[in-house]
Amino acid sequence: MKKARPLIEKVIDIVKRPYMRILPGQLAFFTLMSLIPLVALIGSIANYFSLSLDSLHDISSSLLPMDLATLFTQNMPTNGEGLNFNILAFFLAAFILASNGMHSVIVTSNEIYKYKDEGFIARRIKAIAMTFVLVALLLFLLAVIVLGDSIVELIYEYSSNKSLANALGTIFKFLKIPLSLVVMYFNVKSLYNMAPDNKTANVASKYAAIFTTASWAVGTEIYAIYVKFFAKYNLFYGSVSNILILMIWLYFLAYIFVLGMALSTITSEDLKEKDEK
């Protein structure tokens, strides 16, 4: 316990810092915002392959609570057009705006590590790349942990080869947790390594990524349980409760991500200094 005390004190000190009160909320907001252009792009691709909006809504309604399915599908184009310049321009412009969250992460990371900021354009390009990584990871969590079992059940229901669908479902249940942990760990660690404008050889980033991965896995599993068993019982806020829980989940992910980034700066010298004091 005596050896763990400096680490606990350091974590408490990090939690009290101003950026822990501001940055997670900003990152969660812009992450949610990044889903809007992504949904519009998916709708355009679906139109290109002649998949109707009603079909997309039926599929999403089978996987998500009705109000969340409506929230996402209502932003899809309904004019039957596929990909075009206007859709791509909207997607890029909205995604650049949504990258403000990761841009703030880069600036904060430089402040934490006491690195000098690179030029604005270089930071913005990196922020866009990091936003793509984060959104892809978020979609992975939704598809595998949150909705994975429901997707497997949907495939089994509509599959003509039940034995094959059952075998795929068994393989998915076996690989779901280890695959999720591996994908989360390497993507989170890459985001932590990308954030500072200078490369850092801090070994603590590995342990911070492990902490973030484990916390994300637990939080996402809790959200998955809510979606599967409780999403239809909106006792307090009506249909808005599902959107509220989604935002709480995103805020939790953002808070743990920022906390893990701050923890990655802790060195053995810092702990020694705390212990000596």
| Residue-wise pLDDT tens digits, 194-229 | 888 877 655 667 888 999 999 999 999 998 888 777
Q: Which of 148, 130, 136 is nearest to 223 (CA)?
A: 148
* Average pLDDT of span 257-265: 87
| Residue-wise pLDDT tens digits, 105-140 | 998 888 887 787 777 888 888 999 999 899 889 888
Pick from 24-33, 102-111, 177-186, 238-247 the range whose average pLDDT is largest. Answer: 177-186
* Lookup: tokens for 173: 């249940």
Q: Which of 86, 95, 87, 85 is nearest to 41 (CA)?
A: 87
Percentage of the chain surpassing pLDDT 70?
69
- For 4, 54, 137, 252, the CA distances from 260, given in Å and listed in that order, are 17, 41, 16, 12
| Residue-wise pLDDT tens digits, 12-55 | 888 888 889 899 999 999 888 877 667 666 666 666 665 555 55
pTM recorded for the entire structure: 0.81
Cα separation, 142 vs 219, in Å, equals 12
Exposure class string for 39-59: b at 16+ Cβ within 10 A, else e = bbbbbbebbeeeeebeebbeb
- For 30, 34, 61, 100, 255, the CA distances from 193, given in Å and listed in that order, are 21, 22, 38, 18, 18
